[in-house]
Structure 1
Amino acid sequence: MSEIDEFPAGVAEKIGNYVYRLIDPRNGETFYVGKGTGNRVFAHSNANLSNLTSDEDDRTSLKLSRITEIKNAGLRVLNVIHRHDIPDAAIFEVEAALIDAFTGLTNIQGGHASGAKGPMNVVEIVDKYALPSIDEEPSEKLVLININRLEDKSDVRSIYEQTRLAWRISKRKAEAADYVLAVVKGVIVGAFVAREWRDATHANFPDHVPLDREMPERKGFIGENAPDEVWKKFVGDRGKRISIDGMKHIQFPIRYWNI
Structure 2
Amino acid sequence: MDAVELPRTALDAFLSSSAFAEMLDPGDERTASRSAAARRAEVAEVVRAVDRLAGRRFIDRERAGEVVFGGITGGGLGVRPSVVDEVLALLRPVAVPAPGPPKPVPYEAQSALGVYVYALVDPRDASLFHVGAGRGDRVHRHSAAALAGVVPDPVDIVGDDDPVAIADAIEERIRDIDADGFGVEHWILRYDIGSANSAELHANSLRRAGLDVADLAGSGSSDAPDAHGPWRIEELVGRYAAPVSPPLPELCVLVKVDASARGDATADVIYELSRSAWRAGPHRTVPDLPVLVFADDLVRAVHRVDYWESYRDAEGNLDPKRWVYTGTPDPDLEARYVGTSLREVRRERGGKWNPSGWHPYGHVS
Range of TM-score over shorter length? 0.3 to 0.5
**Whose radius of gyration is greater, 1 or 2?**
2
Q: Greater relative contact order (Cα 8 A, min sep 6): structure 1 or 2?
A: 1
Please state which structure has a larger fraction of its residues in helix. 2
Please state which structure has a larger fraction of its residues in strand. 1
TM-score (norm: length of structure 1)? 0.44
